[in-house]
């Protein structure tokens, strides 16, 4: 198979026998569930756009490993151009879905595991890099969506994995067999696991030799025996059950997170990429975090484009577009959004080749990118809510608007500019609500804070990589200080 169509992707997920639970019940057909389907549609867009000639250079690339054109989400970065095109692709998809399209974690896992396994093999004589290359080429050939899973529940943050009272609070190897390993634990906040064919597991922190059983990386299909998911609750999620497109705000697209449980899951030897080499756990974490923090300079910017556009439309519909303060707020939103994009492009342009041959972003600039992401989207949302007005959260439901008695009253009193229908005014306000407060807030506002690591995680990396000693020497030289 070469590149799947969107419809082929949907049907391939339908064939998986995944174990999914939500609201206390097992979901027999996640593909058709009204709450979950919008998240699947977002991933589908990564397949649909790859079929369009207009987006071929962004969405696809010729693999140096298979010689065939593959989806960029399964690609191993070969240059700084690849790194920049990744960010541009993510911005495009954010613009097209106004939601999380979920394949970024797998792409970032691909590239971090690729280089880390190469260096692990060099140090230990292991065969992890070949294992991973075979898995990667399989995913390219089949055009698979792969989830990248790093975040463990962590339990007591003051204690290392091996020191936890419950040893399963970090995913671990519980049995080493001749033909593979058995693992137990959980990965939390798993974006897109529900809509993935495969999942790559990685450690979540740097580790010491005492944590050997926790220094593990591998890949397995999402419907492997022993894996099950509990879907995370989102604000306004049950609106999707009400047959009310307007109230949802973004009825077609969305994101989804899951608590993904590994209940004594067997992993064959050829799917293992790290197994006890604790000194390389930190490298894998640092590289994945860097790639994923770069990603936010694309995806969140694309969603930001939609939110800025929605705020501008709301200003038009409210009759406030010419007000100087509204113009200034839209300028500020654009300034902040483009600054985020600059960071994503900068850390890509300053990337370099690793020993394995793939390209790594500039880690310092990637962390600066994500640090800004933890702040600027909150201000963009605040300004969007300011422009939209309080009606964004006080408007009656679509059911009331469609009611033959109540509808005309709502239409009369909630009209803004007379040339614009009340329905269209309410629709744009519901979209802003969705992006700022509703189910998409997970994929924009809140995820901007905690996705790819919360703010302190980036500050630690900025302190480590900021080379303060060099800056002090620069100052001493200029000041003619000798010691």
Active site residues: 100, 104, 191, 257, 292, 296, 299, 447
DSSP H or E stretch at residue 229: strand 227-231
Find out whether 70 and 110 touch, Cβ atoms under 8 Å: no
Strands (E), 269-358: 272-275, 352-353
Place of tokens 């979950």: 36
3-state secondary structure of 21: strand
Q: 60: which strand partners?
A: 71
Instruction: Quickly count: other Cβ atoms within 10 Å of residue 345's Cβ.
Output: 21
Q: In the chain, what is the greatest distance between 2 CA atoms, to the nearest angstrom?
A: 85
Residue located via tokens 């969007």: 384
CA distances from 77 to 152, 296, 386, 478 (A): 27, 17, 41, 40
Q: Which sign, positive or negative, has the C-alpha torsion 274, 277, 278, 284?
A: negative
Q: Which helix (H) or strand (E) holds 190?
A: strand 180-191
> What is the per-residue burial (b if ≥16 Cβ within 10 Å, else e) of 367-403?
bbbbbbbbebbbebbebbbebbbebbeebbbbeebee
């Amino acid at each position: 198979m070469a590149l799947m169509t969107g419809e082929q992707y949907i049907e391939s997920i339908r064939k998986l026998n995944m174990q999914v639970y939500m609201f206390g019940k097992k979901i027999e057909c996640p593909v058709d569930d009204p709450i979950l389907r919008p998240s699947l549609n977002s991933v589908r867009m990564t397949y649909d756009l790859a079929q369009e000639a207009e987006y071929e250079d962004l969405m696809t690339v010729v693999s140096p490993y298979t010689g065939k054109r593959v989806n960029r989400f399964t690609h191993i970065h070969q240059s700084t151009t690849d790194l920049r095109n990744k960010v541009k692709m993510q911005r495009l998809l954010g613009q097209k879905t106004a939601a999380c399209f979920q394949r970024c974690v797998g792409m970032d896992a691909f590239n971090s595991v690729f280089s880390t396994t190469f260096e692990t093999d060099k140090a230990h004589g292991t065969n992890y890099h070949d294992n991973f290359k075979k898995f990667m080429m399989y995913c390219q050939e089949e055009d698979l969506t792969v989830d990248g899973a790093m975040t463990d529940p962590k339990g007591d943050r003051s204690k290392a994995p091996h020191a936890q009272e419950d040893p399963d609070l970090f995913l671990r190897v519980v049995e080493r067999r001749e033909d593979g390993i058995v693992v137990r634990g959980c990965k939390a906040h798993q974006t897109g696991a529900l809509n993935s064919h495969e999942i790559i597991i990685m450690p979540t922190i740097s580790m010491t030799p005492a944590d050997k059983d926790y220094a593990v990386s591998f890949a397995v299909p999402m419907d492997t025996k022993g894996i099950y998911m509990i879907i995370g609750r989102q604000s306004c999620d049950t609106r999707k059950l009400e047959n009310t497109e307007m109230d949802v705000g973004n009825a077609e697209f969305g994101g989804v997170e899951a608590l993904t449980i590994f209940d004594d899951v067997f992993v064959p030897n050829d799917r293992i990429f790290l197994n006890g080499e604790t000194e390389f756990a930190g490298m894998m974490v640092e590289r994945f975090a860097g790639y994923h923090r770069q990603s936010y300079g694309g995806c969140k910017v694309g969603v930001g484009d939609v939110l800025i556009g929605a705020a501008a439309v709301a200003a038009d519909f409210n009759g406030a577009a010419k007000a100087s303060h509204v113009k200034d707020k839209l300028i500020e939103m654009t300034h902040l959004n483009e600054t985020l994009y600059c960071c994503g492009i900068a850390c890509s342009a300053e990337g370099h080749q690793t020993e394995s041959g793939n390209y790594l972003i500039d880690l310092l600039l990637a962390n600066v990118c994500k640090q800004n992401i933890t702040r600027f989207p909150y201000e963009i949302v605040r300004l969007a809510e300011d422009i939209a007005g309080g009606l964004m959260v006080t408007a009656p439901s679509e059911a009331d608007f469609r009611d033959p008695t109540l509808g005309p009253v709502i239409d009369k009193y909630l009209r803004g500019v007379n040339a614009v229908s009340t329905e269209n005014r309410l629709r744009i306000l519901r979209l802003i609500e969705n992006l700022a407060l509703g189910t998409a807030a997970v994929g924009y506002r809140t995820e901007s804070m905690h996705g790819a690591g919360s703010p302190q995680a980036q500050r630690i990396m900025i302190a480590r990589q900021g080379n303060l000693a060099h800056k002090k020497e620069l100052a001493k030289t200029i000041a003619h200080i000798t010691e």
